[in-house]
Amino acid sequence: MKVELSLVGDIRNEMNSIGDGVQQAFNRLSQIDVILQKSLADTKRLLPEVDNGLKMAKDLGADSLVSELQGLASDLKSNVNFIQDAIKKIKAIG
């Protein structure tokens, strides 16, 4: 009988430990969400600056700068999509 009670106690302890691990995972997801939201806001804030720089470079005829800024704008737009997708996936889990 003592062995059976000990086994039940061990199982309960293990279940509590698992529950704690799940809670930690959800806490980390919340932290990741905050970081991603900040990254998204920063990226969106940077896009108009790059677009403005691109307009000025075009007006000045600085073709190499235009090309570089177009690449940066494209990268930023891809990053926005990636971050938004990551946020949606985190929200679906949590």
pTM for this predicted structure: 0.76
The residue type found at 40 is L
Whether residue 86 contacts residue 34, with contact meaning beta carbons closer than 8 Å, is answered with no
Write out pLDDT tens, residues 22-35.
999 989 999 999 99
pLDDT tens across 12-66, in order?
989 989 998 999 998 999 999 999 999 999 999 999 999 999 999 999 999 999 9
Please give the residue range of the domain that contains residue 63: 2-93
Between CA 39 and CA 53 the distance in angstroms is 21
Q: Are 54 and 75 in contact (CB under 8 A)?
A: no
Report d(CA 22, CA 90) in Å as an integer: 14
Please tell me the total count of domains within the chain. Answer: 1
